Amino acid sequence: MQTTLFPSHPILFVDDEAQYLLSLELTMSSSGITNVTTCNDSRRVLDLLSAGPFSLVVLDVNMPHVSGEELLPQIVDRFPDIHVIVVTAVNDVESAVRCMKLGAYDYVVKPADDARLVTAIRRGLELDEVRSENEMLKASLLRADIAHPEAFSEIVSRSHTIQSLFRYCEAVGPTNLPVLITGETGTGKELFARAIHSVSGRGGELVTVNVAGVDDTFFADTLFGHRKGAFTGADADRKGLIEQAENGTLFLDEIGDLRIESQVKLLRLLQDGRYYPLGSDVARLSNARIIVATHRDIRAMQEEGAFRKDLYYRLKSHHINIPPLRERQPDIPSLVDHFITRASVELGRKRPAVPKELFTLLRNYDFPGNVRELQGIITDAVSVHTSGILSLDAIRRQIAGPAAASGRSESLPGAGTDEEVLVFPGRLPTLLEAEEALIREALKRADNNQTIAAELLGLSRRALNNRLRRKESGARS
| CATH number of the domain to which 381 belongs | 1.10.8.60
Closest to 456 in 3D by CA, of 329, 357, 332, 373: 357
Whether 422 maps to a domain, the answer reads no
Residues 270 and 342 grouped into a single domain = no
In a structure prediction context, what are the per-residue pLDDT tens digits for the chain, which is 477 residues long?
455 678 888 999 999 998 989 999 998 988 888 899 999 999 999 999 999 889 999 999 889 999 988 999 999 999 988 999 998 876 677 887 888 888 998 988 887 778 888 889 988 888 887 777 667 666 666 566 788 999 999 999 988 899 999 999 998 898 888 999 999 999 999 999 999 999 999 999 999 999 998 899 899 999 999 998 888 888 899 999 999 999 999 999 999 999 999 999 999 999 888 888 999 888 888 889 999 999 999 989 988 999 999 999 999 889 999 999 999 989 999 999 999 999 999 999 899 999 888 888 898 888 999 999 999 999 999 998 888 889 888 888 888 755 444 444 444 333 444 445 667 777 778 887 788 888 888 887 777 787 878 877 888 888 888 788 877 776 665
Residues 232 and 311 grouped into a single domain = yes
| CATH number of the domain to which 295 belongs | 3.40.50.300
Give the domain extent around 395: 327-408+428-476
Residues 238 and 151 grouped into a single domain = yes
- What is the model's pLDDT at position 140? 64
Residues 317 and 335 grouped into a single domain = no
- What is the model's pLDDT at position 306? 93
| CATH number of the domain to which 19 belongs | 3.40.50.2300
Residues 61 and 89 grouped into a single domain = yes
Looking at the structure of the chain, the number of domains it has is 3
- pTM for the full predicted model: 0.74
Whether 419 maps to a domain, the answer reads no
Last-in-domain residue among 81, 102, 131: 131
Residues 147 and 195 grouped into a single domain = yes
Whether 415 maps to a domain, the answer reads no
Residues 169 and 268 grouped into a single domain = yes
Whether 169 maps to a domain, the answer reads yes
Whether 383 maps to a domain, the answer reads yes
Amino acid symbol at 111 = P
- What is the model's pLDDT at position 392? 86
User: In degrees, to the nearest 5, what angle opens at C-alpha 126 toward C-alphas 222 and 290?
Assistant: 20
Residues 213 and 335 grouped into a single domain = no
Residues 262 and 350 grouped into a single domain = no
Structural contact between residues 457 and 466, judged by C-beta atoms closer than 8 angstroms: no
Whether 384 maps to a domain, the answer reads yes
Whether 336 maps to a domain, the answer reads yes
